[in-house]
Structure 1
Amino acid sequence: MSEKFNVMLIVIDALRADHLGCYGYSHATSPTLDALAADGVLGENLFAPAIPTQPSFTTLYTGQHPLTHGVIAHGGEAMLAPTAPSLAEHFLHGGYHTCAVDNLWRARPWFGRGFVDYLDPSLKHTLPVAVTCEEMNDSIIKWLRVFGADPFFMLIHYWDPHYPLLPPPQYRGRFYDGRNPTDRGNHSLDRWWQHPVGLLARNTWLRTPAGRITDADYVRALYDQEIRYVDDGVSSLMQALEEMGLSQRTLVLIMADHGASMTEHDIFFEHYGLYDATTHVPLIVRWPGHLPAGRRLPHLLRANDVAPTLLEAVGLPAARGMEGTSFWPLLTGESDEGGHDWVISLECSWQASWSLRTREHKLILNRELDPCRHFWPSRELYNLQKDPLETHDLAQTETHLADDMTAQLEAWIAAGAAAAGLPGDPVAAQGITLGRRG
């Protein structure tokens, strides 16, 4: 490809796929994202190999599984090797002006690798997650007005709808029926008020002058309001691209680092647990004139596939060491063959767990008793076709299948650990990080 085009990678933190209209959600949370999906390609089954934010973003940046790059926990001690592949560095070496609008460099230095410009509009906030969509877009648009004529790769990290769930006043009240959210007769949050995780939420944004919130639907509505807020922010950004004449020249890929559980599995408004509410993330790709409109991909994809896909899209070779598989031929319609038979995910922040997910089933291995008092068993098995919400654990009844999937997962972990030069399973060795550090 002789002519260089732009790539804009937008990561919306904590955005679960099934709360978007284009994935079948009933509330009007995402008109802009729905329109972009209709004008481009939607991936129905993109999954995060690691949660939460730090290991997930590292997986995205390197194109490697976390067992390979070693950053398996949020708040862990592992540092990314300087020899690990870097998506931004590869774009930079390919002649692109690279820019990140983000603040993850404040947590780990490798998130700044390869970016000529790193804009952090959250610096004036005590909490990085407090940065607003307006502040983000102001930084993005100012940069584009100066450098948008050059081929660029831009990474944008919107923090909404990550908690605390504090949507702007003009979004309050949407998606909620107006009943009293502090009704003492509503017990849907009783377990949350007894929960050891989320003290900040219980003492701050889940309290009102009328008392503490008791209705889980009210908090779910706050999450949806935050989604609509960031959706409007994306709308403003897309409008700016159009006004600057950049829409036709810019591939836009929108995804999330992880989702968020509302109340499923007694996980309240957080993003841990290797269930689909947290590991299944959106994938929307729009590039007018280059990608077909309205195409949907049912293929099983992994977040570490994104980096090689973006590189192939603009004619750059995949970086050495990237393990992901480009799904560019799927996006263009050149091929309907691709994707994976399974996805392996891990976490050891609030949980220390592994999962093996196929189209039909999911196995979860819990390596350590968690600090959140869920008392989950050491092994869980779900039939995703019959039980997509993962409510009926079959590990005790479908023992042959559970044993087979356990053997497959344990063999993969052992082989990956050996290839990485590790003495054994790093999740079991490191255990829970955030649960111990508070």
Structure 2
Amino acid sequence: MRILYLDLDSLRPDHLGCYGYHRNTSPNIDRIAEQGVVFTNYYCSDAPCLPSRSALMSGRFGIHTGIAGHGGTAADYRREGAKRGFADRLKSESLPGVLRTAGYKTASISTFADRHSAWTFNAGFNEVFNIGENGGESAHQVLPVALKWLEDNGGSDDWFLHLNFWDPHTPYRVPESYGSPFEGEPFPDWLTEDVFQSHLLKKGQHSLSDMNALAKSHYSQWYRHNDSIETYQDLGHIIDNYDCAVKYMDDHIGRILSSLEELGILDDTAILISADHGENLGELGIYSEHGTADHATCRIPMIFRWPGGTMGRQEDGLHYHLDLAPTLADLVGIDKPERWDGRSYAETVRSGEETGREYLVLTQCAHVCQRSVRFKDWLYIRSYHDGHHGFPREMLFHITEDPYEQHNLAEDKKEICREAVYLLNEWHDEMMMTMDSDIDPLWTVMREGGPLHAKEYLLWNAKWLFCIGDFLIRI
């Protein structure tokens, strides 16, 4: 089987046509969705970038791998120590390692490992192509490398290509010449003038006031990020440019599909389309960031087109992204490592059978320290470190009726919160009893001073205040 895994950074499912979006952002992705299974409740177990992709390729939760954050001890894969043999277990237990052992040629076209010094991500790949832009590349820079790889290898049997596009990741870097294809089109219905006015009042990290400060400093070099947001229509600087990035990326995915067609292998190639995490575009008052364990950050697309598999199906069950590893193993008929945490949903792909879980636990320790529980119609979020966002200890949202997290019901629904905490403790007990270490990396992050990006936020504000003070003294 030929398997193409499109790893589309920061891509929200609800900004794709196949998930019901009103803007025409994704005609090529939508074309693949019509031919496969669209998963509507698919979540990264650990967010954001480094923990998510580490969990995906290892098939294991961050609490097991040790990777829960973006810095400090919890940004490194937990080592085997004295029991390590000539080769470590990750070499053969990673998703690409398992496929390679079964005879697959495995390749990754991505700068991710370089960007995060996440060298363990490369475990199991025969080939790794790093174009050297450290995650700052646009689709037009990635495309030639991908087309050349397909030209050289596409006609062979049994390959797995991980292809990573970054365009929806802030800063949205689509060339100015591409224009603004969605300028003037309505924003998502929930993002009203009243909601916008309430967000203007919010302070703290990733708020509109924070984005406006960044537009004058960190993002000032980027054409699509250097304007302040003062009025409701100014939200187009974020919403329109995010959607523009999705559309630009989709155009280049269309070129990939055309290449497969020209090679005569499009129909015989499995095409999987997903992301490492989503992107908050107003949820919780946060913009252009993926810094929480909420629905906007952790819910991701999964479009699974498998030759001979189910077509035109929507799967609403709860799934983790790390469930991909055992699913692929089942579909290609190879054994799964016992230490994988994922649960196969191969029967959903083959025959449309429901394979969802009872509940999910999601972790975020790069911008905040949070764990959340996604169950039934609910999302419960527990904050251990709020990352200077002003979050309460507990938040509860009815995701079916309130997917954009406008109404925290934690005070009114204590019994639902208690049910969520029970599930959280049940999951945590199982994790701690099935690991070699007795250390939860969330608490490692807390002991080391909190999430990396929260510490950076304090440092940036301290420098900004110093500059203002120095200026006032001089005048």
Report the TM-score, using the length of structure 2 for normalisation.
Answer: 0.83
Secondary structure in structure 1 of the residue aligned to 2:317: strand
Find the counterpart in structure 2 of residue 212 from structure 1: 228
Task: Tell me whether 1:350 sits opposite 2:367 in the alignment.
Answer: yes
Find the counterpart in structure 2 of residue 268 from structure 1: 287
Further displaced range: 141-150 or 92-101:
141-150
Q: How has the CA–CA distance of structure 1 residues 269 and 206 changed in structure 2, closer, same or farther, with 3 Å as cutoff?
A: farther
Find the counterpart in structure 2 of residue 100 from structure 1: 108
Task: Tell me whether 1:314 sits opposite 2:332 in the alignment.
Answer: yes
Find the counterpart in structure 1 of residue 119 from structure 2: 109
Find the counterpart in structure 2 of residue 412 from structure 1: 427
Secondary structure in structure 2 of the residue aligned to 1:173: coil
- Contact kept in structure 2, 1:7 and 1:310, CA below 8 Å: no
- Contact kept in structure 2, 1:414 and 1:424, CA below 8 Å: no
Secondary structure in structure 2 of the residue aligned to 1:231: helix
Task: Tell me whether 1:255 sits opposite 2:271 in the alignment.
Answer: no
Task: Give the number of equivalent residue pairs.
Answer: 419
Find the counterpart in structure 2 of residue 74 from structure 1: 70
Q: What letter is aligned with 1:195?
A: D
Q: What letter is aligned with 1:224?
A: D
Which residue, 289, 298, 309 being the options, matches 1:279?
A: 298
Q: How has the CA–CA distance of structure 1 residues 315 and 131 changed in structure 2, closer, same or farther, with 3 Å as cutoff?
A: same
List per-residue Cα deviations over 1:151-175 (Å, max 9, x = no partner). Answer: 2111111111111112223432221
Find the counterpart in structure 2 of residue 43 from structure 1: 39
Secondary structure in structure 2 of the residue aligned to 1:304: helix
- Contact kept in structure 2, 1:62 and 1:322, CA below 8 Å: yes
Find the counterpart in structure 1 of residue 152 from structure 2: 146
Further displaced range: 193-202 or 380-389:
193-202
Task: Tell me whether 1:29 sits opposite 2:25 in the alignment.
Answer: yes
Q: What letter is aligned with 2:98?
A: H
Find the counterpart in structure 2 of residue 158 from structure 1: 165
Q: How has the CA–CA distance of structure 1 residues 194 and 389 changed in structure 2, closer, same or farther, with 3 Å as cutoff?
A: closer
Cα-Cα RMSD: 2.3
Task: Tell me whether 1:135 sits opposite 2:141 in the alignment.
Answer: yes
Q: Which runs of 5+ in 2 are unaligned?
A: 80-87, 187-195, 458-475
Find the counterpart in structure 1 of residue 414 from structure 2: 399
Question: How many Å separate the matches in 2 of 1:241 and 1:355?
Answer: 40
Q: How has the CA–CA distance of structure 1 residues 423 and 95 changed in structure 2, closer, same or farther, with 3 Å as cutoff?
A: closer
Greater helix fraction, Structure 1 or Structure 2:
2
Secondary structure in structure 2 of the residue aligned to 1:393: coil
List per-residue Cα deviations over 1:192-250 (Å, max 9, x = no partner). Answer: 453288565553337788x5343123311000000001111111001101101221331
Q: How has the CA–CA distance of structure 1 residues 322 and 33 changed in structure 2, closer, same or farther, with 3 Å as cutoff?
A: same
Question: How many Å separate the matches in 1 of 2:339 and 2:437?
Answer: 18
Question: How many Å separate the matches in 2 of 1:380 and 1:435?
Answer: 20
List per-residue Cα deviations over 1:257-288 (Å, max 9, x = no partner). Answer: 10001122121110111221111111111234
Q: What letter is aligned with 2:150?
A: L
Question: How many Å separate the matches in 2 of 1:208 and 1:305?
Answer: 36
Q: What letter is aligned with 1:324?
A: G
- Contact kept in structure 1, 2:67 and 2:441, CA below 8 Å: no
Further displaced range: 306-315 or 19-28:
306-315
- Contact kept in structure 2, 1:72 and 1:347, CA below 8 Å: yes
Question: How many Å separate the matches in 2 of 1:418 and 1:425?
Answer: 11
Q: Which runs of 5+ in 1 are unaligned?
A: 180-185
Question: How many Å separate the matches in 1 of 2:415 and 2:378?
Answer: 13
Q: Percent identity?
A: 27
Which residue, 314, 318, 330 being the options, matches 2:348?
A: 330
- Contact kept in structure 2, 1:105 and 1:112, CA below 8 Å: yes
Find the counterpart in structure 2 of residue 182 from structure 1: none
Q: What letter is aligned with 1:129?
A: G
List per-residue Cα deviations over 1:36-83 (Å, max 9, x = no partner). Answer: 101222111111111111110011101111111211112342432442
Q: How has the CA–CA distance of structure 1 residues 388 and 87 changed in structure 2, closer, same or farther, with 3 Å as cutoff?
A: same
Question: How many Å separate the matches in 1 of 2:224 and 2:8?
Answer: 26
- Contact kept in structure 2, 1:89 and 1:115, CA below 8 Å: yes
- Contact kept in structure 2, 1:100 and 1:156, CA below 8 Å: yes
Question: How many Å separate the matches in 2 of 1:407 and 1:190?
Answer: 35
Aligned ranges 1:164-203 → 2 under 5 Å: 164-177=171-184, 192=207, 194-195=209-210, 198=214, 200-203=217-220
Secondary structure in structure 2 of the residue aligned to 1:194: helix
Q: How has the CA–CA distance of structure 1 residues 57 and 415 changed in structure 2, closer, same or farther, with 3 Å as cutoff?
A: same
Which residue, 48, 56, 63 being the options, matches 2:52?
A: 56
Q: How has the CA–CA distance of structure 1 residues 344 and 177 changed in structure 2, closer, same or farther, with 3 Å as cutoff?
A: same
List per-residue Cα deviations over 1:135-193 (Å, max 9, x = no partner). Answer: 212111212222223321111111111111122234322212189xxxxxx97767545
Secondary structure in structure 1 of the residue aligned to 2:46: coil
List per-residue Cα deviations over 1:362-407 (Å, max 9, x = no partner). Answer: 1111012323xx2111111112223222211111111122122113
